[in-house]
Amino acid sequence: MKLLILGGMRFTGRALVEAGLARGHRITLFNRGRSAAPPAGVEHRIGDRDGGLAALDGGTWDAVIDTSGYVPRLVHASAEALAGRAGHYTFVSSISVYSDSSAAGQDETSPVQTLKDETTEEVTGETYGGLKALCERAAEAVFPGRTAIVRPGLIVGPHDYTDRFPYWVRHMAGDAEVLVPGTPDAKTQIIDVRDLAEWMMRLAESGTGGVLNATGPDAPLGFADFLESIREGVSGRARLTWVDEAFLLERGVVPWNELPLWVPGAQSGFLRTNVARAIAAGLTFRPLAETARDTWAWDSKRTDAERRAPSASLVGSTLAPERERALLIEWHARTRAESSG
């Protein structure tokens, strides 16, 4: 299969290139040339989705996988440039498109976010989901009936520059006390980037269309089980201290950013999305301990500077060690006072 990937070699694109080469596909990569160069044998076309699509002139592809679409105007322009020269289009969206993050078990028919101003191109926490929903519509408009809309949850694994999953991997690899928010049975969901990439390859090969949520695992995962699987994968001896959500919120701890995968209270439905359709379409999940082990093998070789460099808005926003320690001291003092009171 001749495959075109729109995006770089940073994380998801890297996994897709590796999966495609392993399956014997001929791959063309289109991006701005700011991430790592692709491996030998991959055609690299350097351009820009915003006014620099000439690099895509010439050539035909059996399938396109779009990993870098955030603005509907640019997704439409890229798809239009490929119309008639590509057979199938996979657009990588997000489960953030859903309008009600409090509802557990949302499936692909659930309502998506809308924007008051559909012309906005500023990607923020408030506009991200709505813009992704509009991008989905733009891709489907150009490739009607030939578009797979993939809505991943939190993507994790080696080369995860966001520091969200690596935060917990590093913590569980040690032997120190670790602050954990909420309760052990709180549900969470993730998807290994390699499982996602291999599955999207199969979607492209088969020409599968439609909307599919893509997160996991296939059975509900409690946060205690999540951390225990990580600890198993990295052979760590971390000691967990579960801290009340209200205590953390009162002290200004920011969910999701400072403590990754923590989505308190009414928003927790975000991590309980229905993935039955994707599983029926062949999505499979490797053991979480394997994901943790491989992530630790990659992350442990990085310097602190390398962890900060890729994206200052994400890396470095997690809970600082000194603040974690201070919160633990205060929490223990409070629980001692309550128990003696």
* Residue closest to 320 by CA, chosen among 264, 257, 261, 243: 257
**202-212 pLDDT, tens per residue?**
999 999 999 99
Residue 310 has pLDDT above 60, yes or no: no
What domains lie within the chain, and their CATH numbers?
A: 2-152 (3.40.50.720), 164-189+218-266+287-340 (3.90.25.10)
* Residue closest to 324 by CA, chosen among 226, 230, 251: 251
* Residue closest to 152 by CA, chosen among 312, 23, 271: 271
Q: What's the rounded Cα separation, in Å, for the pair 233 and 158? A: 13
Q: What's the rounded Cα separation, in Å, for the pair 245 and 242? A: 9
Q: What's the rounded Cα separation, in Å, for the pair 131 and 119? A: 9
**How does DSSP classify residue 262?**
-
Q: What's the rounded Cα separation, in Å, for the pair 198 and 200? A: 6
pLDDT, mean of residues 16-43: 96
pLDDT, mean of residues 280-284: 98
pLDDT of residue 34: 92
Sign of CA dihedral 319, 323, 325, 329: negative
Half-sphere exposure of 214 (CA within 13 A, CB side): 30
Residue 231 has pLDDT above 60, yes or no: yes
pLDDT of residue 341: 63
Residue 65 has pLDDT above 80, yes or no: yes
**105-163 pLDDT, tens per residue?**
999 999 999 999 999 999 999 999 999 999 999 999 999 999 999 999 999 999 999 89
Cα Rg for the chain, rounded, in angstroms? Answer: 21
Residue 53 has pLDDT above 50, yes or no: yes
pLDDT of residue 313: 42
pLDDT, mean of residues 270-294: 97
* Residue closest to 37 by CA, chosen among 69, 53, 13: 13
pLDDT of residue 266: 72
More confident residue, 174 or 341: 174
pLDDT of residue 220: 83
191, β-bridge pairs: 155
More confident residue, 309 or 179: 179
Both structure tokens of 131 = 């813009």
* Residue closest to 223 by CA, chosen among 196, 183, 251: 183
